[in-house]
Chain A
Amino acid sequence: MAFEGLAERLQGTIQRIKGKGKVSEADVKEMMRDVRRALIEADVNLKVVKDFVKVVSERAVGVDVMKSLTPGQQVIKIVKEELTVLMGGEQSPIQFAKKPPTVIMMVGLQGAGKTTTTGKLANILRKKYNRNPLLVAADIYRPAAIQQLQTIGKQLSLPVFSLGTDVSPVEIVRQALEQSKVDHNDVVIIDTAGRLHIDEKLMQELKDIRALKEPDEVFLVVDAMTGQDAVNVAQSFDETVGITGVVLTKLDGDTRGGAALSIRSIAQKPIKFVGMGEKMDALEPFHPERMASRILGMGDMMSLIEKAQANVDEEKAKELEEKFRTQSFTFDDFIDQMNQVKQMGPLEDIIKMLPGAGKIKGLENAKVDEKQMGRVEAIIYAMTPQEKTTPDIINSSRKKRIAKGSGTSIQDVNRLLKQFEDMKKMMKQMTNMQQKGKKKMKMPGLNSLFK
């Protein structure tokens, strides 16, 4: 059900223009349709997508294809590079005040994760920066918002300043700032109530809080699952209140997180942290390059492309595909494949890099058993040439011999034979699907989302 990543989307076009020395305008146009769709499905704002596609097209047309890459890979590379640039440079640290206390304001829509992030941020400030933060409970609207922050404060053994729900947020913050001087808190983090960007009265409240003492950071907290509306939210908060940075929460989910790109290109403010869970230690610095890959849904596709390029030669790959299609794939080819894969490095790394692999349940913790691979090799080496090309002839007495010769059990031999059959079947289906897939791409039926 998950949406296809860019690499998968581009398959059709890539196949077609493979082997060309230059990428033509028509090729680019076709690929850009896929880029557009992939970005929209990743929740990048439509206007941002349009601008982006324009920039990439200009760069991609007529580009000389690097020797080591196919034109398709070349375009993916350009897309990824542009995206990474748009995402901004590496994480910028928190701005601290020259004269304490440093004031950090947390703002955003309801339920985005402000209160949770307030706690996480305080935790980092204390642990990594050796600061002594004060948390301010300025959300007087949401039921039990103050208790929530107090509970978090207790968990972290950090002070929480609150005056209940009957005092105005502006007054709460004013007094909190006073208190911080008395208690020598060098950082004050203000947890404000969630509000809609179109709620003028509540937006004014943020301006009033802001006016008390110029904050060193105003963090807009945004849910990573946000769709097209992210631009409106970011723009409104930036224009009315003024933000200095963004925290993207709930990135531990399986969303592509295109909102990150929308916000970056609209508000031009750095994404400083990402929320990776509900616990107090689940706040990480932002990595633009990782985010770019994620939005494109391609794991570390680029490094995979590079690795594969270095090791697999094109001719052989084509030959192999043909063998799959005609079902003439043998155990010799199997061994060949295994060796090629081995040259590419530790299997776990490769699996992680595969687009879509992250979405397969259980695979995130998959450990490829290198020992098991050794066993498979031994079994295949114990086969006669005839057995390798026509495994159908392997009857029980042959199985016994192979097991003995390879130092494995009959069950091991059976398992491999079954795996081999399954794999052949699957490969056949996949090569068939690829051909059908091309047609589907032009006329997307509603069902193609369901896989």
Chain B
Amino acid sequence: MSFFKKIKEKLTGTSESVSVSEKFKDGLSKTRNQFTSKVNDLVAKYRKVDEDFFEELEDLLLQADVGFETVVELMDLLRFEVQRKNIKDTAGIQSVISEKLVEIYESGDNSSNELLVQDAGLTVILFVGVNGVGKTTTIGKLAHRLKGQGRKVMLAAGDTFRAGAIDQLQVWGDRVGVEVIKQSEGSDPAAVMYDAVRAAKNRGVDVLICDTAGRLQNKVNLMNELQKVHRVIEREVPGAPHEVLLALDATTGQNALIQAQSFKEATNVTGIVLTKLDGTAKGGIVLAIRNKLKIPVKFVGLGEKMDDLQPFDTDKYVYGLFADGLEQEDKNELN
């Protein structure tokens, strides 16, 4: 069975994973349905892999924010592979595209997409990122998810700056049914973290998730503040924070790479949550981020509700980056 077929089967789903896959699929494609995909499979056989096809693919990936350099690298790999395997039609090449994209994404780095939660003792997860990307919302969703797995979860309201940020986290805490440790607006975020870690230890919490204020990566003093927060957690719990998750908005373009680099320098980011993937943007820059900075995507955000968070699946994601577009083009040609 070809790689492409495998993915497709995954996407159309066996019954046990339907809801998860459906969600993911919905996020990546609003238009896909059984009928069109059948039609497209048919059409695909009549398409030739020629320069026009490559150009079209290149455009699709650029429009998914994959970025110039990564796209050029992929194209080189593909041209080589197409020649080597003597691939003639597009039905054969979709699997190769997926494979090569995954190859670029992973680039020999085998850090896991899984969230690291300690078997015993307190796990601390710190959320960082620029303004408005979805940190607080993701914390709510993640708390819900971890609680559903039978873990005792606590939240720390470390955004003491933005108007209403503490209230927002509290609403999420109430929704999910977990405790929120907070101080008043304007207080020192490092002090909030200190309190929260103490409380988490005292109450036998399994996972403490820490919110922070959004900050643009070029604000030196704000990045220093974040490092201070990080240090406090580090000092209070050996080995913590166990995860530092960078929230990235899928609509963000090439600046995401600079975001990832700066936040990694400041706080040693261990994973990415790619939010707002329920829109039309695809966040293709995560390929370059993983490739260059070795930061894997761990979750994707697919909406504003409590259960709109899914673990990241590389194959599905990569497939969604280009397949929709190609199918779309095919449909147009057919009409």
Contacts and interface: CB of A to CB of B under 8 A. Distances in A.
User: Bound pair: A and B?
Assistant: yes
B285 interface: yes
Contacts of A112: 132
Contacts of B30: 198
B167 A109 contact: no
A321 B279 CA distance: 51
A265 to B, nearest CB: 15
Contact of A446 (B63, B70, B131, B162): B70
B63 A228 contact: yes
Given A41-B254, A148-B162, A111 B131 contact: yes
B167 A250 contact: no
Given A1-B261, A142-B304, A155-B163, A198 B279 contact: yes
Nearest to B60: A46
B73 A446 contact: yes
A45 B185 CA distance: 39
A229 B258 contact: no
A250 B168 contact: no
Interface string B67-109: 1111011000000000000000000000000000000000000
B280 interface: yes
**Chain A interface SS verdict (over half):** loop
Given A148-B163, A152-B163, A250 B65 contact: no
Interface in A193-228: 196-198, 223, 225-228
B253 A148 contact: no
Contact of A111 (B134, B217, B261): B134
Contacts of B216: 250, 252-254
A49 to B, nearest CB: 9
Contact of B281 (A113, A145, A227): A227
A46 B64 contact: no
Contacts of B175: 143
Nearest to B167: A144
Given A110-B304, A229-B280, A151 B163 contact: yes
B68 A37 contact: yes
Interface in B260-280: 261, 276, 278-280
A278 B258 contact: no
Interface string B223-260: 00000000000000000000000000101111111100
A155 B164 CA distance: 12
B96 to A, nearest CB: 19
B255 A110 contact: no
Contacts of B278: 196
Contacts of B291: 446
Interface in A280-302: none
Contacts of B162: 148, 278
Contact of B171 (A110, A143, A152, A252): A143
B132 A253 contact: no
Nearest to A253: B216
Contacts of A152: 163
Contacts of B194: none
Given A225-B253, A227-B252, A198 B130 contact: no
Contacts of A446: 69-70, 73, 291-292
A46 B252 CA distance: 15
A197 B252 contact: no
Interface in A133-169: 141-145, 147-152, 155
Contacts of B281: 227-229, 232
A448 interface: yes
Given A198-B279, A227-B65, A253 B254 contact: no
Contact of B64 (A3, A113, A228): A228
Interface in A11-57: 37, 40-43, 45-46
B292 A450 contact: yes
A1 B185 CA distance: 35
B50 interface: no
Contacts of A254: 216-218, 255, 258
B329 interface: no
Contacts of A37: 68
A258 B253 contact: yes
B199 interface: no
B133 interface: yes
A226 B220 contact: no
Interface string B20-31: 000000000010
A226 B132 contact: no
Contacts of B59: 46
Contacts of A196: 276, 278-280
Given A227-B65, A448-B69, A144 B168 contact: yes
A109 B164 contact: no
A228 B65 contact: yes
19 contacts: A43-B65, A46-B59, A110-B132, A111-B133, A144-B165, A149-B163, A151-B164, A196-B279, A197-B279, A223-B252, A226-B251, A228-B62, A228-B63, A229-B279, A254-B216, A254-B258, A256-B254, A444-B72, A449-B292
Interface of A: 1-3, 37, 40-43, 45-46, 109-113, 115, 141-145, 147-152, 155, 196-198, 223, 225-230, 232-233, 250, 252-256, 258-259, 278, 361, 444-446, 448-450
User: Top 9 A-B pairs ranked by shortest CB distance?
Assistant: A227-B253, A111-B132, A148-B164, A43-B253, A143-B171, A151-B163, A229-B281, A144-B167, A144-B168
Given A198-B280, A227-B254, 13 more contacts: A41-B67, A111-B134, A148-B167, A225-B253, A226-B253, A227-B251, A232-B280, A232-B281, A233-B251, A250-B130, A444-B68, A446-B69, A449-B292
